[in-house]
Copies of this chain bind each other. A is one copy, B any other.
Amino acid sequence: MDSFGERLRGRIDERGPLCVGIDPSADVLSAWSRSDSVEGLEFVARATLDAVSSVVAAVKVQVGFFERFASSGLQVLERVLRDAAAADVLVIADAKRGDVVTTNEGYARAWLGEGSPLAADAVTVSPYLGLDSLEPFFRLAVATGRGVFVLASTSNPEGRSFQLARTGDDDTVEASVLRRVSDLNRRAGPGLGPFGAVVGATRERPHFALADLSGPYLVPGVGVQGASAADVGRLFSGCPRGSVLASVSRAVANAGPEPRALRDAAQRWRDQLNDAL
């Protein structure tokens, strides 16, 4: 079984380095003249998936916008995940989960477990409780051929003071995350491993040689958040081909809801990213 990193690389080679974020926020529901309800949520999520699936390497579902509607919202997400699997589209669940080891067993099972209605191809996790606390995600990802993206350097400005704080080894927190993810991939075997990192395109280069991750990068911050395709190219220059996946959400959603307009917007980003990476 190929690792998630190798599977994702195959998709990027085939379709380009674009990930479209499915972010059915209250704002997007309103901009698309949909009711602020589970029906509106489901319309926006499925319409986006349908429109962009042929031009992306993966989609990223923003779990917070589904959870906003409690268990009914997660039922919508379960249906979207089924649709995506049927359409053979890779899905990253942007859940940013992270707790102590015992609790992470529960979260890992939900997002990466065989047969779980919420299982995606990869999940994002948050390292505030330490890299080692995330071990249940890492273990289950290897067992099921799925992936984990650990937050390192996020695209929003509010996180800088903690992510740039200096650990006892005089490393920054974000560089320490990247170094640990790299170690995990090297132990997992050759090629791109199952363990990725989130590094925002709006950020400066971390104190870590980005080309050394041996795993995929998920790169938010592109489009409305301020970074261009060229910014992504500059930040990740020298990284292996197929290891960088740039995520664009609002800049695509703003073209909706007409399917052709959504696909065209996604395609423009894909072409720009192809040129830059």
Q: Provide the bound-state CA to CA distance between A26 and B136, in Å.
A: 14
Is A105 in the interface zone, CB < 8 Å from B? Answer: yes
Is there an interface contact between A173 and B165, defined as CB atoms closer than 8 Å? Answer: yes
Is there an interface contact between B106 and A68, defined as CB atoms closer than 8 Å? Answer: yes
Partner of A109, one of B68, B109, B169: B68
Is A64 in the interface zone, CB < 8 Å from B? Answer: yes
Is A98 in the interface zone, CB < 8 Å from B? Answer: yes
With A117-B71, A161-B168, A162-B173 known as contacts, the answer to whether A126 contacts B98 (CB < 8 A) is yes
What's the number of copies of this chain in the assembled complex?
A: 2
Is there an interface contact between A62 and B103, defined as CB atoms closer than 8 Å? Answer: yes
Give the contacts of A153-183 with B (CB-CB under 8 A).
154-169, 172-173, 176
Is there an interface contact between B156 and A101, defined as CB atoms closer than 8 Å? Answer: yes
Q: Provide the bound-state CA to CA distance between A159 and B176, in Å.
A: 12
**A69: min CB distance to chain B, Å:** 8
- Residues in B with CB closer than 8 Å to A166 are 165-166
User: Could you show 5 A-B contacts with beta carbons less than 8 Å apart?
Assistant: A64-B110, A71-B74, A129-B154, A132-B158, A164-B167
Interface size, A (range): 35 or more
- Residues in B with CB closer than 8 Å to A25 are 102-103, 105-106
Is there an interface contact between A64 and B103, defined as CB atoms closer than 8 Å? Answer: yes
Is A151 in the interface zone, CB < 8 Å from B? Answer: yes
Give the contacts of A26-49 with B (CB-CB under 8 A).
26-27
Q: Provide the bound-state CA to CA distance between A106 and B27, in Å.
A: 11
Partner of A103, one of B65, B132, B165, B173: B65
Is A144 in the interface zone, CB < 8 Å from B? Answer: no
With A70-B110, A106-B25, A156-B101 known as contacts, the answer to whether A161 contacts B165 (CB < 8 A) is no
**A15: min CB distance to chain B, Å:** 26
Is A133 in the interface zone, CB < 8 Å from B? Answer: yes
* A110-144 interface bits toward B, Cβ cutoff 8 Å, 1 = contact, 0 = none: 10000011100000001111111100000000000
Is A67 in the interface zone, CB < 8 Å from B? Answer: yes
With A130-B160, A161-B168, A161-B176 known as contacts, the answer to whether A106 contacts B70 (CB < 8 A) is no
